Structure 1
Amino acid sequence: MEVPGYTEIRELGHGGTGRVMLAVRDSDGLAVAIKHLSDPLREDDEFAGRFRAEAQVIQEIDSPHTARVLDYVEAGDDAVIVMELVDGITLRRLLEHEGGTGAESALVVLKGALLGLAEAHERGVVHRDFKPENVIVTQEGESKLVDFGVAAHFGETAGLVGTPSYMAPEQWDEAPAGPATDVYAATLVFFECLTGHRPFLGADVAALAYQHQYVPPPVEEVDEPLRPIVEHGLAKDPVARPESARAFLAELEGVALTSYGEGWEQRGRAGLGLLT
């Protein structure tokens, strides 16, 4: 499909649900990313509805820490989401290449994630699939949250939703997701940035479900000043986690300042920029 008003240049990536294309907006030459659904999923009413809902959800969020939706276009049997082009690499790619990021850079990643999640939460939206693949890190050391494909409003249920390695205990029970669900996933990613690996490495989905629901995280692998953050964010009971991404952010900044001094954020961003 040719998207009216845009000229596609090349593919940026693809997966099971579709592909993302680099394009320019004809009216002003602005570089954008265009997300297409795959051909089979376009014919699936449920997925097509979810795709449309994703565009609506992201349009509700206005944050420099999330990729903005610029347009939603339907033409014939196709539909696309036109998004801000984020110049950077996925956190997954960075971790695969570098292992961990170091403590200060990990704190910067977590802060950026929490800022993006806070904007979503304050509009009643929970991401439900926070993971390194859905975080883009720029050369300036900033991070942006992308892909709200399974996002929902508070209290909505939709079966077993998420990526098993990053699913909170309540997701395994198919309970409604809330802000604490995203806080749990963001803390898992924080642990991975610190150590170079996930806290739970079950060999299959059943093992991962058991670990997330019942096994304490190995906080001894984390620098001692940061263990309280990890323990709080990875509490099994969502009620025992920070009540919101904004509250968790305040906790993070207090620990970072006390443990690493006033320049922690600047140094962390510089470190991330070098890794990209």
Structure 2
Amino acid sequence: MSSETLAGRFELGPERWVAPLGPVSEGKQHVGPGRRRVAIQRLTAPLKDRDAFLEALIDVQGKASRAAIPGVQRLLDVVEEGEDTFLVWDWVDGPTLREWVEAHHEKGSPAPYGFLLAIAKDLLFTLHALHGKGRPLAHGGIGARAVRLDRSGFPVVTRFGVCAALEQTGETGAWITERHVRVEAPEGGLAPPVDVFGAGLTLYAVLAGASDFSVMPDELKERLEAGRPVDLALIREDVPPVILRTIERALASDLRERFETAAAMARSCELLLRSLPESTDAPALAKEIERTLPRNAPPPAPPKTRASERSGSRSAPPSPPAGAGSKPKGLKQESTDQINLEELGTLQIDDDAPE
């Protein structure tokens, strides 16, 4: 199949996935006599001022690039072709965090919480490095679809600069909420504590059995965004309580109770990982990714919201995890880790509990 050429130096290949700003295709960049893989995104989001957004995005990305922080997907170029605008990004060779979680769910098991903590640790150290650059560079949209797992065993932050550009240009379209571009922390705004909160939301959602925060029931999402999560110990008896308390601290509505910095939360994850018997370093994560999503497997179709995700149920319920006890009243006995999220929303919650 022939590919479209952009600006004489990029080859636009097949569409691989859909992201909030528009569909992303696998492409190639001509570099001297050779070529390298890149991700080429057609900008289709209904922006009020596309030129101002692009200028702001390039500015924020430039600051991150000059800081030379590893683990951040770089914006390489912006190409105008007729009526279309294309964003050219680094190619990250690996699945999104959401795809990795879904692959475990399809096999009837939860995503291993040890590897989840290891991913969070590296992600948080990357965010802390961004936060420490003069005027803090906050992401603002951390989630399971905004993190990719490179096959070398390192997580990569994608979409960096998008939320900052939206804020700087005053974009307020409904699509921003509908496409879950931005994390809505209790304090609002775009600042480093919002990224800590976003990391907590992501960890909570995955441990609760969802592939992403965006697919959880609205009532639960509202409670989480208000900093009042349902106690995960009710449904994950296999996860050490200290891990659950770490996640709850990241979700605190009071900034004095939340982790002060992303590095503080990363160090907590690091200490927790030392207590686990299995290795979760980069080589181990690389093997885990290849085992769960082999490189030669067909690329995933662009994500769609499935009825099973909306209800939280799965076609094949997973086996109980080792060490799990009886399930609390209100949860289906056959649903151990991939819980019925609508049913979780009916659990008795003390609305008068202190915040």
What is the match of residue 260 of structure 1?
Answer: 276
Structure 1 residues 56 and 235, CA, compared in 2 at 3 Å: closer, same or farther?
Answer: same
C-alpha distance in 2, partners of 1:141/1:130? 19
Is there any run of 5+ residues in structure 2 with no aligned partner, and where? 294-355
Structure 1 residues 74 and 102, CA, compared in 2 at 3 Å: closer, same or farther?
Answer: same
1:122 is aligned, of 132, 135, 139, to 132
What is the match of residue 87 of structure 1?
Answer: 93
What is the match of residue 13 of structure 2?
Answer: 9
Is the CA contact (8 Å cut-off) linking 2:139 and 2:163 kept in structure 1? yes
C-alpha distance in 1, partners of 2:229/2:205? 15
What is the match of residue 235 of structure 1?
Answer: 252
Identify which range, 262-271 or 100-109, moves more after superposition: 262-271
Shift of 1:215: 2.6
Is the CA contact (8 Å cut-off) linking 1:181 and 1:238 kept in structure 2? no
Shift of 1:23: 1.5
Encode CA deviations 1:87-110: one digit per residue, 9 max, x unaligned: 111111222221332122011210
Listed as ranges, the matches of 1:1-276 within 5 Å are: 2-4=5-7, 5-15=9-19, 17-27=21-31, 28-38=34-44, 41=46, 44-61=47-64, 62-99=68-105, 100-123=110-133, 124-148=136-160, 150-152=162-164, 163=180, 167-171=184-188, 176-197=189-210, 203-204=217-218, 208-213=221-226, 215-220=228-233, 221=236, 222-257=239-274, 259-260=275-276, 263-265=279-281, 267-276=284-293
TM-score (ref. length: structure 2): 0.65
C-alpha distance in 1, partners of 2:292/2:198? 23
C-alpha distance in 2, partners of 1:9/1:167? 35
C-alpha distance in 1, partners of 2:87/2:95? 20
Structure 2 residue matching 1:86: 3-state secondary structure: coil
Is the CA contact (8 Å cut-off) linking 1:113 and 1:144 kept in structure 2? yes
Identify which range, 85-94 or 96-105, moves more after superposition: 96-105
Among all aligned residue pairs of Structure 1 and Structure 2, give the percentage whose two residues are the same amino acid: 23
Shift of 1:31: 1.1
Is the CA contact (8 Å cut-off) linking 2:43 and 2:87 kept in structure 1? no
Structure 1 residues 202 and 47, CA, compared in 2 at 3 Å: closer, same or farther?
Answer: same
Shift of 1:79: 3.0
TM-score (ref. length: structure 1): 0.81
Encode CA deviations 1:137-192: one digit per residue, 9 max, x unaligned: 23333211111364228x97866966399532223xxxx22111111111121233
Shift of 1:21: 2.0
The one-letter code matched in structure 2 to 1:145 is V
Shift of 1:84: 0.9
Structure 2 residue matching 1:111: 3-state secondary structure: helix
Is the CA contact (8 Å cut-off) linking 2:20 and 2:181 kept in structure 1? no
The one-letter code matched in structure 1 to 2:88 is V
Shift of 1:49: 2.5
Structure 1 residues 97 and 165, CA, compared in 2 at 3 Å: closer, same or farther?
Answer: farther
C-alpha distance in 2, partners of 1:16/1:256? 33
Is the CA contact (8 Å cut-off) linking 2:96 and 2:145 kept in structure 1? yes
Encode CA deviations 1:97-124: one digit per residue, 9 max, x unaligned: 2133212201121023213322322232
C-alpha distance in 2, partners of 1:211/1:164? 16
Structure 2 residue matching 1:241: 3-state secondary structure: coil
Shift of 1:261: 5.5
Is the CA contact (8 Å cut-off) linking 2:227 and 2:252 kept in structure 1? no
The one-letter code matched in structure 2 to 1:72 is V
Encode CA deviations 1:209-258: one digit per residue, 9 max, x unaligned: 3443153441413422313311221111233212221222122212222x
Structure 1 residues 65 and 178, CA, compared in 2 at 3 Å: closer, same or farther?
Answer: same
- Structure in which a larger fraction of residues adopt helix: 1
Is the CA contact (8 Å cut-off) linking 2:121 and 2:267 kept in structure 1? no
Q: Which has the larger radius of gyration?
A: 2
Is there any run of 5+ residues in structure 1 with no aligned partner, and where? none
